[in-house]
Amino acid sequence: MRLFIMFQRLYRGFQGFFTHRPPLVASKRGHITERLNQVRPAHTGCLIVQTTSNSTKNLPMSFQYSRMLATQVQNEGKQPTNRNAPIEPVAFTKSMAFFTDVSGNSYEKDSSTLKLKKPLEKPLVLIFAWLQATNKQVGKIAGVYLEQGFEVLTVYITPWQLLWPVHGAQKVAEDVVKFLANNDIPEGVVLHGFSVGGYFWGECLVKLHAHPKGRRTLEKIVGQIWDSVTHLEEIPIGVPPAMVPKNPKLQNMLRSYLSYHLKLFHEEATQYYQQSTHLYHYEPLQCPALILVSKSDPIGAEAPNKRLCDIWESKGVKTTFKCWDKSPHVGHFYRHREEYVQLLLTHLKLLNLPMYNRKAKL
């Protein structure tokens, strides 16, 4: 009976079945910034990273991460930030939150335009979180960027918003586009997307292509990182574990339903997945990209992400591709933390961010 009720609600649009993410605790801080993209020359193939971390894999994660930061200090003469305050989320909209480690600041905005009352003075990383991501999980990744001097804004979508994009993901995409278009960000924007974040950025691209400030807004984005990106055909594989992670039986039933959903609701859902996927693949941002996957992940699988890498290279996007032998979906940061952070920092240095240029001159 319980299963019948659940699938009845699924069929009706999941209304009332999945609650929205609870409001984030209002807390602290505010600043961002912007910069122009540069079109890169075409490359003949992806840069495949063949790094290993055997020498460090047995070390405690905290020691590995601290050692990485020490290496950064030696190479750049930069002292790591001493964070006394915990990293906390600051609610911005229902689906967006800043992460900060400084007490006493707020991100006040005009609620109709999402324009910040106090312009951000640092580069911004825009994180597109995976389904059901927790603030604690995202906060660990945000901490890496905060250490480097970034502002961090995270965007969440729910399973319901994914399955019914017109009243779900597209509404969130409108807010993201509104924020990017109406705020000056002279230090540059970096995207870091996980799993369905690739699809979601495609929805943002649809909005940006129709926006009068769309081209200028895209020029603010200087770099992109994509972790475990899920493609259209993998939605039935990836969504069930996010929704019912500890119930394999329900996962199988949901997988069958989602395959049915994609066929039955073409007008309401599937056509939008196809449109956003096309833009994500064939009209990419013209700024360096880092793609992170693993051979053992069936959700953000290696083969479609390698094809994505090849397509972007053919479009002139400098793309680095890293594939680990074994790590779970959206789990590369946790399984290979030191190597992941090193790849991330190396990629950030390619982006010609004013922040790094100023440090180099000192």
Q: Give the count of beta carbons closer than 10 Å to the beta carbon of residue 104.
A: 9
CA atoms within 13 Å, Cβ hemisphere of 173: 26
Going by their DSSP bridges, the two strands 189-194 and 88-91 should be labelled as: unpaired
Closest by CA to 159, choosing from 218, 108, 216, 199, is 199
Q: Is residue 24 very low, low, confident or very high in pLDDT (cuts 50, 70, 90)?
A: very low
pLDDT at 258: 92
In 10 A of CB 167, how many CB atoms?
12
Cα separation, 102 vs 152, whole angstroms: 12
Question: What is the structure's pLDDT at 242?
Answer: 77
C-alpha separations of 230 from 34, 176, 297, 303, 320 in Å: 28, 20, 10, 11, 18
Kindly report the CA angle at 242 between 338 and 196, in degrees rounded to 5? 70
Tell me the pLDDT tens digit for each residue of 223-253: 999 999 998 888 888 888 878 888 999 999 9
In terms of phi and psi (left: phi > 0; alpha: psi -120 to 50; beta: otherwise), the region of 317 is beta
Token pair belonging to 338: 């030191």
**What are residue 151's DSSP bridge partners?**
124
The model's pLDDT over 290-332, given as tens digits with 9 standing for 90+, comes to 999 999 998 999 999 999 999 999 999 999 999 999 999 999 9
Q: What is the pLDDT of residues 253-289, one digit of tens each?
A: 999 999 999 999 999 999 999 999 999 999 999 999 9
Mean pLDDT of the chain: 83
What is the domain partition of the chain in residue ranges? Answer: 24-53+60-361
Q: What is the pLDDT of residue 352?
A: 84
Whose CA is closest to 229, among 272, 200, 270, 271? 200
On whether the CB atoms of residues 206 and 275 are closer than 8 A, the answer is yes
What pLDDT, on a 0 to 100 scale, did the predictor assign at position 354?
Answer: 84
The confidence score (pLDDT) of residue 1 equals 54
Q: How confident is the model at residue 137 (pLDDT cuts 50, 70, 90)?
A: very high
pLDDT at 6: 54
Mean pLDDT for 61-71 is 42
Q: What distance in Å separates the CA atoms of residue 95 and residue 91, rounded to the nearest whole number? A: 8
pLDDT band per the 50, 70, 90 thresholds, residue 77 = very low
User: Which pLDDT band holds residue 33 (cuts at 50, 70, 90)?
Assistant: very low
The pLDDT score that the predictor gives to residue 97 is: 97
pLDDT in tens, 336-345: 999 999 999 9
Q: Write out the E strands in 209-332.
A: 221-227, 289-294, 319-324
Residue 195 pLDDT level (bands cut at 50, 70, 90): very high
Position 57 scores a pLDDT of 45
Annotation: CATH topology of 24-53+60-361: Rossmann fold (3.40.50)
In angstroms, the first-to-last Cα distance of the chain is: 68
Pairing of strands 88-91, 124-128: unpaired
* Angle, CA of 139, 96 and 129, to the nearest 5°: 55
Residue 90 DSSP class: E
What tokens were used for 184? Answer: 């000056």
pTM for this entry: 0.80
Q: Which residues contact 105 (CB under 8 A, 6 or more apart)?
A: 28, 29, 30, 31
Q: Is the pLDDT of residue 76 over 60?
A: no
Q: Please, which residues bridge with residue 128 across strands?
A: 155, 193
